[in-house]
Amino acid sequence: MKRETAWRIFAGEFNDSNVEIKSEEEMAPSYVITPLGAKLNRVFIIGVLTDIENISESGDLVRAHISDPTGVFTLYSGQYQKDVTDVLSKIEVPAFVAVTGKVRTYSPEEGTLYVSIRPEKIMEVSSDIRDKWIVETCRNTKDRIEAIIEAMKMDESTVKALRKLGYSLELSEGIVEALKGYGNVDLNKYVAIIEESLQYLKPGNKKISKFKLDKKEKRIDPTEEIKKSEKTEVVEEKKITIKSEPTTESNTSDPKQELEKDFLDNENSVLDIIKQIEGEDGAAWDEITEKCEKSGLDRDTIEEAINSLMDKGLIYEPVLGTIKTT
Query: Per-residue confidence of the chain (326 residues) as pLDDT tens digits?
Result: 456 778 999 999 999 999 988 876 666 678 999 999 999 999 999 999 999 988 876 667 888 999 999 999 999 988 777 888 888 888 988 899 999 999 998 877 777 788 999 999 999 999 889 999 999 999 999 999 999 999 999 988 899 999 999 999 999 999 999 999 998 888 999 999 998 888 877 554 333 344 445 444 444 443 343 443 333 333 333 332 323 334 333 344 555 566 667 778 888 899 899 999 988 888 888 899 889 998 888 887 888 788 777 766 678 777 667 888 87
DSSP 56: S
Name residue 261's amino acid. Answer: K
| CATH (residue range 6-126) | 2.40.50.140
What is residue 258's predicted lDDT score, i.e. its pLDDT? Answer: 66
139 close to 120: Cβ distance less than 8 angstroms: no
- Residue 181 CA: distances (Å) to CA of 23, 117, 156, 205: 16, 22, 15, 40
- For 106, list phi and psi in degrees, rounded to 5: -140, 125
Q: Which residues pair with residue 64 across a beta bridge?
A: 52, 75
d(CA 5, CA 62): 25
What CATH topology corresponds to 255-325?
A: Arc Repressor Mutant, subunit A (1.10.10)
Strand 71-77 relative to strand 62-68, pairing:
antiparallel
Strand 283-284 relative to strand 322-325, pairing:
antiparallel
d(CA 51, CA 193): 24
Least Cα distance to 300 among 186, 211, 194 occurs for: 186
